[in-house]
Amino acid sequence: MNFNTILGSVDFLEFLRGKKATFLLSASVTKTAEIPNISQAGIPGKLYLTPTLDAEFLCTKEVRSLEDIAQTPKGVPTPALITRAVHELNPFSNIEILNLGLELIPQIEHFKIHNFDMKPSGRIDDGAKIQAMEIFQKGLSFAQSFETKDDYVILAESIPAGTTTANATALALDYECEGYFSSSYKNNPSDIKNQTIINALKRVEKNSDIFEKLSLVSDNMIIFNAGFILGSRANNLKVLLAGGTQMAAVLLVVNSILKSMDGEIDSSNIALCTTKWINEDENSNIKALLEQLDFPINAYASDFDFSNSSHPALKLYDEGEAKEGVGCGGALCYASINSIDEMKLIEKIESFLG
Amino acid sequence: MNFNTILGSVDFLEFLRGKKATFLLSASVTKTAEIPNISQAGIPGKLYLTPTLDAEFLCTKEVRSLEDIAQTPKGVPTPALITRAVHELNPFSNIEILNLGLELIPQIEHFKIHNFDMKPSGRIDDGAKIQAMEIFQKGLSFAQSFETKDDYVILAESIPAGTTTANATALALDYECEGYFSSSYKNNPSDIKNQTIINALKRVEKNSDIFEKLSLVSDNMIIFNAGFILGSRANNLKVLLAGGTQMAAVLLVVNSILKSMDGEIDSSNIALCTTKWINEDENSNIKALLEQLDFPINAYASDFDFSNSSHPALKLYDEGEAKEGVGCGGALCYASINSIDEMKLIEKIESFLG
Domain ranges of chain A: 3-353
Of B11, B268, B338, the CB nearest to A60: B11
Interface confidence, given as ipTM, is 0.90
Of A90, A109, A110, the CB nearest to B339: A90
Q: What is the mean pLDDT of the segment spanning B180-205?
A: 84
Query: Which residues of A have a CB under 8 Å from any CB of B?
Result: 59-62, 87-94, 108-111
User: How far, in Å, CA of A200 to CA of B216, rounded?
Assistant: 78
Would you call B339 and A110 a contact, using CB atoms and an 8 Å cutoff? Answer: no
C-alpha distance from A116 to closest chain B C-alpha (Å): 22
Looking at beta carbons, which residues of chain B come within 8 Å of A109?
Answer: 9, 11-12, 15, 268
User: How far, in Å, CA of B349 to CA of B82, rounded?
Assistant: 6
Amino acid at B15: F
Amino acid at A146: F
User: How far, in Å, CA of B341 to CA of A44, rounded?
Assistant: 39
* Contacts with A145 (C-beta within 8 Å, 6 or more apart), sequence order: none
Would you call B337 and A91 a contact, using CB atoms and an 8 Å cutoff? Answer: yes
Q: Would you state the pLDDT for residue B132? A: 98
Quick check: B30 and B222 in contact, CB under 8 A?
no
C-alpha distance from B317 to closest chain A C-alpha (Å): 27
Q: How confident is the model at residue B191 (pLDDT cuts 50, 70, 90)?
A: confident
User: How far, in Å, CA of B229 to CA of B84, rounded?
Assistant: 24
Would you call A91 and B14 a contact, using CB atoms and an 8 Å cutoff? Answer: no
Would you call B338 and A91 a contact, using CB atoms and an 8 Å cutoff? Answer: yes
Of B11, B17, B268, the CB nearest to A87: B17
CA geometry: angle at B136 spanning B178 and B115, to 5°? 115
Radius of gyration over alpha carbons of chain A, in Å? 18
pLDDT digit string (tens) for B3-33?
999 999 999 999 999 999 999 999 999 999 9
> What is the CATH code for A3-353?
3.40.50.10210
User: How far, in Å, CA of B220 to CA of B42, rounded?
Assistant: 19
The Cα-based distances of B346 to A193, A351, B5, B315, B342 in angstroms read 54, 22, 23, 11, 6
Looking at beta carbons, which residues of chain A come within 8 Å of B337?
Answer: 91
Would you give the distance in Å from CA B212 to the centre of its chain?
23
C-alpha distance from B141 to closest chain A C-alpha (Å): 26
Q: Would you state the pLDDT for residue A182? A: 79
CA geometry: angle at A239 spanning A236 and A241, to 5°? 150
Quick check: A324 and A275 in contact, CB under 8 A?
yes
Would you call B14 and A89 a contact, using CB atoms and an 8 Å cutoff? Answer: no
User: How far, in Å, CA of B267 to CA of B247, rounded?
Assistant: 14
> Within a 13 Å sphere around the CA of B286, how many CA atoms are in the beta-carbon half?
33
Query: Which residues of B have a CB under 8 Å from any CB of A?
Result: 9-12, 14-15, 17-19, 268, 337-339
The residue of chain B with its CA nearest to that of A90 is B339
Choose, out of B13, B14, B148, B150, the residue to mutate when testing the contact with A (most A CBs < 10 Å): B14
* Contacts with B278 (C-beta within 8 Å, 6 or more apart), sequence order: B182, B244, B245, B284, B286, B301, B323, B324, B329
pLDDT digit string (tens) for B121-140?
999 999 999 999 999 999 99
The Cα-based distances of B306 to B80, B302, B342 in angstroms read 15, 12, 10
Choose, out of B2, B17, B268, the residue to mutate when testing the contact with A (most A CBs < 10 Å): B17
C-alpha distance from B94 to closest chain A C-alpha (Å): 17
pLDDT digit string (tens) for B139-161?
999 999 999 999 999 999 999 99
Q: Phi then psi for A97, rounded to 5 degrees?
A: -105, 130
Amino acid at A237: L
Would you give the distance in Å from CA A213 to the centre of its chain?
21
Would you call B18 and A59 a contact, using CB atoms and an 8 Å cutoff? Answer: no
Q: Would you state the pLDDT for residue A70? A: 53
Give the number of other Cβ atoms within 10 Å of residue B112's Cβ: 11
Task: Compute mean pLDDT per 10 residues along chain A, 354 residues long, and list them.
Answer: 97 98 98 92 90 97 78 74 98 98 98 98 97 98 97 98 97 95 66 93 95 98 98 97 98 98 96 98 96 98 97 92 95 98 97 90
User: How far, in Å, CA of A278 to CA of B39, rounded?
Assistant: 62
Would you give the distance in Å from CA B82 to the centre of its chain?
14
Amino acid at B133: M
Of A60, A89, A90, the CB nearest to B10: A60
Round the average pLDDT of chain B to a whole number and report it.
94
Choose, out of A20, A60, A84, A110, the residue to mutate when testing the contact with B (most B CBs < 10 Å): A110
C-alpha distance from A67 to closest chain B C-alpha (Å): 17
pLDDT digit string (tens) for B241-283?
999 999 999 999 999 999 999 999 999 999 999 999 999 999 9
pLDDT of residue B67 exceeding 90? no
CA geometry: angle at A345 spanning A342 and A350, to 5°? 125
Q: Phi then psi for A208, rounded to 5 degrees?
A: -70, 160
Q: Would you state the pLDDT for residue B70? A: 53
Name the DSSP letter for residue A7. E
Q: Would you state the pLDDT for residue A96? A: 98
Of the listed ranges A94-103, A282-291, B49-58, B189-198, the one predicted with least confidence: B189-198
The pTM for the full model equals 0.93
